[in-house]
């Protein structure tokens, strides 16, 4: 079997502790905290007030901006608070707290009472926006906005990211194994919404059973193929995925649209498929809770469940934690508290022990070039780090700092243990601030 891949990259230990653990649907908690920003773009404004009664799936927050996505209640019950809460990015966001009545009274389903074959591309995009579906690989870009093809562009290909390249995480793997028909329904809807004539589903060869399962479900479908990929990180980053599958290269500063492609995560496809089947908005998702917990697990959990409750559902800590990370170990964010709400964007909760997070001593850069060799974006992290430390925006722009996707490969291979990804983020911040000031 020919395995496609990309240049550069690394091979961190997979640590897929939960690959054999089936998805378990968790009961809804006593209260849910629905953050009003679970996406890239404009935060939602509340559509309800304290004391209101809401039903499951009811839209409770929205913003009219094109780059935004509404939020919905994941339970039926009573609104008991609206205000700022701690969030996984270390900031606070406004959120709506709902006391669960445990009746799960549902809203009217989203849709036009039509089969997929009878829906137009505009109707599909409208349904996806109304359902609040966002990119579920972690980025949270509003899916409906991604599906709009700008004037002068043509989409001929849909690429589905089924790679799940972050160590530890397995929730996408389990969705593939357990609900492939729902994924297929979502892919068909996404193809129609974009006008793409062909879809490719990229899957790592090491995801046991996933390739065979998807081959079986698409074998009678025209224009949908499964592509086995080498197991390498960051194979799931969209530029690397596009190159590995199609050979097309997204230009510096460009988007997949520039090469006729839209990329969606396998979890996003699953969410769209569920919408087409049930008419329910995105109020729950799959998540991996793993590492130093007593029962590493894959769950389907209601949006707004507290992270502390998800850790408890996995049996609690197996030993005193050194760090709790939202996401995987390469790109996830360490948390200062577990009293934060679970959102549409959260793919995993990783608990590491104190021994696992002991920092190694840093030394000076030895100019070995390991970071350059590992960088799949063809950047020069050692120079970018120096320019970031010096605040040299001219150097940062010259060496294309904004092309960095913060995958962490450079920091992983650095023998001097320099915090290179930190410097990348700092450097990108300088350029973003500079351009914002220039616009003013």
User: In the prediction, which pLDDT does 112 show?
Assistant: 67
User: In the prediction, which pLDDT does 1 show?
Assistant: 54
User: In the prediction, which pLDDT does 228 show?
Assistant: 95
Q: Provide the edge-to-edge strand list for the sheet that holds 71-72.
A: 45-46, 59-62, 71-72
Q: Can you point out the beta strands (E) in 215-337? A: 224-229, 261-265, 284-291, 297-302, 321-326, 333-334
User: In the prediction, which pLDDT does 54 show?
Assistant: 98
Consecutive 10-residue runs of the chain (440 residues): their mean pLDDT? 83 96 97 96 96 98 95 98 93 96 95 84 96 90 93 92 95 98 97 95 95 95 95 92 94 90 96 95 97 98 98 97 95 94 96 90 92 93 94 94 93 94 93 86
User: In the prediction, which pLDDT does 2 show?
Assistant: 67
Q: Can you point out the beta strands (E) in 111-231? A: 157-161, 198-204, 224-229
Q: What are phi and psi of 69, to 5 degrees?
A: -150, 130
Q: Is 61 helix (H, G, I), strand (E, B) or coil?
A: strand
The alpha carbon of residue 408 and the mean position of all alpha carbons in its chain are separated, in whole angstroms, by 16
Cross-strand partners of 302: 284
Q: What are the tens digits of pLDDT across the range 331-372? A: 999 999 999 999 999 999 999 999 998 888 899 999 999 999
DSSP alpha helix (H) spans, 353-419:
370-374, 381-390, 393-398, 409-413
Q: What are the tens digits of pLDDT across the range 239-283? A: 999 999 999 999 988 899 999 999 999 999 999 999 999 999 999
- Domains, the chain, with CATH or none: 120-278 (3.40.50.11540), 370-439 (no CATH)
Q: Answer positive or negative: Cα dihedral of 291, 315, 312, 163.
A: positive
Q: Is 79 helix (H, G, I), strand (E, B) or coil?
A: strand
User: In the prediction, which pLDDT does 271 show?
Assistant: 97
Contacts of 436 (CB under 8 A, 6+ apart): none
Residue 397 is encoded by which pair of tokens? 């722009």
User: In the prediction, which pLDDT does 264 show?
Assistant: 96
């Amino acid at each position: 079997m020919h395995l496609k891949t990309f240049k550069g990259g690394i091979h961190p230990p997979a640590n897929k502790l939960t690959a054999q653990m089936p998805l378990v649907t968790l009961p809804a908690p006593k209260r849910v905290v629905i953050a009003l920003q679970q996406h890239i773009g404009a935060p939602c404004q509340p559509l309800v007030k304290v004391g209101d009664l809401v039903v499951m799936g009811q839209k409770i927050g929205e913003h009219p901006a094109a780059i935004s996505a509404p939020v919905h209640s994941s339970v039926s019950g009573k609104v008991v608070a609206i205000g700022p809460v701690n969030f996984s990015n270390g900031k606070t966001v406004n959120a709506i707290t709902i006391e669960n009545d445990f009746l799960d009274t549902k809203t009217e389903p989203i849709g036009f009472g039509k089969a997929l074959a009878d829906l137009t591309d505009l109707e599909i995009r409208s349904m996806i926006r109304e359902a609040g579906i966002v990119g579920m690989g972690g980025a949270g870009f509003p899916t409906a906005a991604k599906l709009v093809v700008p004037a002068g562009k043509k989409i001929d290909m849909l690429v589905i990211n089924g790679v799940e390249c972050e160590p530890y995480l397995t929730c996408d793997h389990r969705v593939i194994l357990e609900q492939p028909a729902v994924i297929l329904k979502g892919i068909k809807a996404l193809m129609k919404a974009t006008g793409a004539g062909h879809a490719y589903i990229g899957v790592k060869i090491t995801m046991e059973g996933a390739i065979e399962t998807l081959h079986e479900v698409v074998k009678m479908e025209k224009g949908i193929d499964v592509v086995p990929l080498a197991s390498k990180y960051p194979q799931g980053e969209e530029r690397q995925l596009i190159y590995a599958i199609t050979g097309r290269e997204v230009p510096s500063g460009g988007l997949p649209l520039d090469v006729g492609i839209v990329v969606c995560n396998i979890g996003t496809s699953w969410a769209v498929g569920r919408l087409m089947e049930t008419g329910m908005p995105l109020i729950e998702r799959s998540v991996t809770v793993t590492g130093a917990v007593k029962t590493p697990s894959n769950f389907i959990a209601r949006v707004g469940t507290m992270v502390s409750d998800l850790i408890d559902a996995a049996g609690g800590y197996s030993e005193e934690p050194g760090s709790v990370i939202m996401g995987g170990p390469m790109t996830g964010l360490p948390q200062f508290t577990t009293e934060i709400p679970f959102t549409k964007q959260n793919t995993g909760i990783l608990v590491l022990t104190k021994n696992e997070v002991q920092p190694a001593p840093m030394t000076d850069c030895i100019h070995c070039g390991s970071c350059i060799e590992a960088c799949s974006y063809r950047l020069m992290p050692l120079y970018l780090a120096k320019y970031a430390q010096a605040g040299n925006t001219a150097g940062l722009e010259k060496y294309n700092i904004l092309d960095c996707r913060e995958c962490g490969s450079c920091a992983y291979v650095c023998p001097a243990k320099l915090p290179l990804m930190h410097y990348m983020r700092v450097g990108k911040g300088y350029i973003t601030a500079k351009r914002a000031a220039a616009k003013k």
